[in-house]
Structure 1
Amino acid sequence: MVTQTPRKPLPGHIAAKLAGAGGATDSAGQPWQGRDLPAQEKYHNFENDDGATDAHFAAAVQRLVAGTGVEGDVVASLATARVFIPIVAQLAEQTVGANGLAADKESDMALVTVQAPDGRRALPVFTNAAALSRWHPQARPVAVYAARAALSAVAEDAALLVVDPGSERPFVVRRPAMWALAQQRPWIPSYQDPAVLTVLADSVTALAHPAVLAISATAGQGIESLWDKNAEPSGRLVHGGGAGPELTVNLTLRPGLDQPAVAAVLAALQDTWAGNQYFAATVDSVAIRLLNPHPAPGP
């Protein structure tokens, strides 16, 4: 006598899938027979892509790490690079079939976004498919040009594009550079932009405050990123790829000002910068450094 062990009931959503599978028609009732995909049609721009990191981007990053390149070159290399964005399925609507089993009626494909340490939304992108799979095994890697990824980030109200998060060498593309990628135009870092320096100089002229002796700008420490080269435990700082602030404004004030007076000067200058359309679009974040005036030369 042969006894059969009672089968454990399948989860409802799996049973529903099995109940509707294997028919001669698709979900719309159209027969499968006679349908084929034309081999000669090109469905996307990356059909021969091997999933590896773009060579120009990799070379720009290597120069940045070696100290012979700048972060502007890395962003420029992304202008023609293919990247992968993570897409996940989200259940939009569920229905109950005639067999009483629950089934997914609709599902949406959604971009994966993350929150940066400063609270801003960021879109992660990956230079190779393997890096994305390690970061989020359930996400589907979708190949796009980096410019298209930047456009998607803007549409998602993201302020940052993070290249290869979780890897040894992540690289953050801040808002102005991300917008430049989305618009497919060249990007100049704010700390290298002569027009930004002009705005700063004009703001001092417009303020006409006798306490302001000089103003200048340099790259901020926020552009530095801590990268782990060859898995060194201590890591190393690289001059680029950080999340900001990317611009340091050096301000020299007349000595002897009290704290309220200094605060009033800074507030007036910051209001002028925020009201300048070019400055607001070009500068992602600012750090202000107060400098002591040089002492007068002795006799």
Structure 2
Amino acid sequence: MPHEEHQGQGRRELPGHIAAALAGAGGATDSAGQPWAGRSLQGEDARIHNFEDDDGTADPAYLAAVGALLDGTGGEAGVVASLATARVFVPVVAQLAQEAEGVDGLHADKQADMALVTLKAPDGRTAMPVFTSAAALEAWHAEARPVAVYAARAALSAVSEGAQLLVLDPGSDFTFVVRRPAMWALAKQRDWTPSYLDDQLESALASAATAFPAVRRVETRPGAGVAARTADGQVVSGGGAGPELQVVLYLEDGLDAGAVQQLVSGLNEAWANMEAFAEGVDSIEVKLQRAAQEPGLH
């Protein structure tokens, strides 16, 4: 990421558009037309609404959920659920807005606006970095200003910035990626079920496949992209940014390459038109098996 410089020594107030994004981004409604109004982040269910006594450390519930993920006793859903009431830090940096020419051709003082930071994921999508502790943010970008917000508010800001991913603690010992469906669930303050654990989604995919007689059965599993790695190389079964859903198609024998390609293309189109698929799946990988290889068949 380019290294931006802060101009001037004093701390500046956030401009209105940035403050508005952090306070309640995403407009009056979400992409489904549902109003954001009523999704309060105050009260006992969100007791960390005020940050006056914040010591800048990571939320204990998040640390516990990540610990469970690392030792194999927890999963991605637990980590995302822990973020529902967690405080995080959004990095805001100065970007040069104007540089005037002064006397004798010398440059006058530069003016800088504050801007949210976004990144490009390896697949080209926009990602928004978020940090669970002030120390993690400072280690990543020493000149970024940490703005304390709810993780849900950070998700709303990501929506406003056109980001499809939240990246928690990039550059740290363990980086956890919140994919688009989980990010939207967090923004909407709804529970999130990973697509590979969603029985209703599996049934919907199988139902759509009935229009293709060559498909004998459909099965969903975690995709290879679910896995992430810690800084020391430990493989973790959650937090990855790649395809999170593997769809296994058990096909009748005798199909040639052209027929298989046409079949998969037709299924992809059918699935893409399903609301449950569009909202619940970030990305998929398709695995083809002969029906004779289906478990239980010999």
Report TM bin, short chain: 0.7 to 0.9
| CA deviation after TM superposition for structure 1 residue 183, in Å | 1.1
Query: Matched residue of 1:134: which SS?
Result: helix
Q: Which residue, 182, 191, 196 being the options, matches 1:186?
A: 191
- In the alignment, what sits opposite 2:272? 274
- In the alignment, what sits opposite 2:36? none
Q: Using a 3 Å threshold, how does the CA distance of structure 1 residues 154 and 104 change in structure 2: closer, same or farther?
A: farther
- In the alignment, what sits opposite 2:235? 237
C-alpha distance in structure 2 between counterparts of 1:92 and 1:249, whole Å? 48
Q: Which residue, 175, 198, 207 being the options, matches 1:202?
A: 207
The answer on 1:211 being equivalent to 2:214 is: yes
- In the alignment, what sits opposite 2:176? 171
Q: Using a 3 Å threshold, how does the CA distance of structure 1 residues 297 and 239 change in structure 2: closer, same or farther?
A: closer
| CA deviation after TM superposition for structure 1 residue 94, in Å | 3.3
| CA deviation after TM superposition for structure 1 residue 195, in Å | 2.3
User: Any unmatched runs of 5+ in structure 1?
Assistant: 1-13, 22-43
**1:251–1:291 contact (8 Å) kept in structure 2:** yes
- Which structure's CA Rg is the greater one? 1
Matches within 5 A, 1:81-230: 81-96=86-101, 102-104=107-109, 106-205=111-210, 207=211, 209-228=212-231
Question: RMSD in angstroms over aligned alpha carbons?
Answer: 2.3
Query: Matched residue of 1:79: which SS?
Result: helix
Q: Using a 3 Å threshold, how does the CA distance of structure 1 residues 297 and 115 change in structure 2: closer, same or farther?
A: closer
| CA deviation after TM superposition for structure 1 residue 105, in Å | 6.7
**1:164–1:170 contact (8 Å) kept in structure 2:** yes
C-alpha distance in structure 2 between counterparts of 1:103 and 1:187, whole Å? 51
- In the alignment, what sits opposite 1:286? 284
- In the alignment, what sits opposite 1:75? 80
| CA deviation after TM superposition for structure 1 residue 101, in Å | 5.9
C-alpha distance in structure 2 between counterparts of 1:173 and 1:291, whole Å? 30
Q: Deviations over 1:80-107 (max 9, x none)?
A: 1111111111122234568986444743
| CA deviation after TM superposition for structure 1 residue 202, in Å | 1.4
Q: Using a 3 Å threshold, how does the CA distance of structure 1 residues 297 and 242 change in structure 2: closer, same or farther?
A: closer
Q: Match for 1:243: what amino acid?
A: A
Q: Which has the higher contact order (CA 8 A, sep 6+)?
A: 2
TM-score (norm: length of structure 1): 0.79
| CA deviation after TM superposition for structure 1 residue 204, in Å | 1.2
C-alpha distance in structure 2 between counterparts of 1:162 and 1:70, whole Å? 17
User: Any unmatched runs of 5+ in structure 2?
Assistant: 1-6, 11-48
C-alpha distance in structure 2 between counterparts of 1:177 and 1:54, whole Å? 19
C-alpha distance in structure 1 between counterparts of 2:250 and 2:286, whole Å? 10
C-alpha distance in structure 1 between counterparts of 2:110 and 2:227, whole Å? 47
Q: Deviations over 1:126-178 (max 9, x none)?
A: 11111111111111111111001111111111111000001111000000000
Q: Using a 3 Å threshold, how does the CA distance of structure 1 residues 97 and 176 change in structure 2: closer, same or farther?
A: same
Query: Matched residue of 2:155: which SS?
Result: helix
Q: Match for 1:246: what amino acid?
A: E
TM-score (norm: length of structure 2): 0.79
Percent sequence identity is 56
The answer on 1:246 being equivalent to 2:251 is: no
Query: Matched residue of 2:98: which SS?
Result: strand
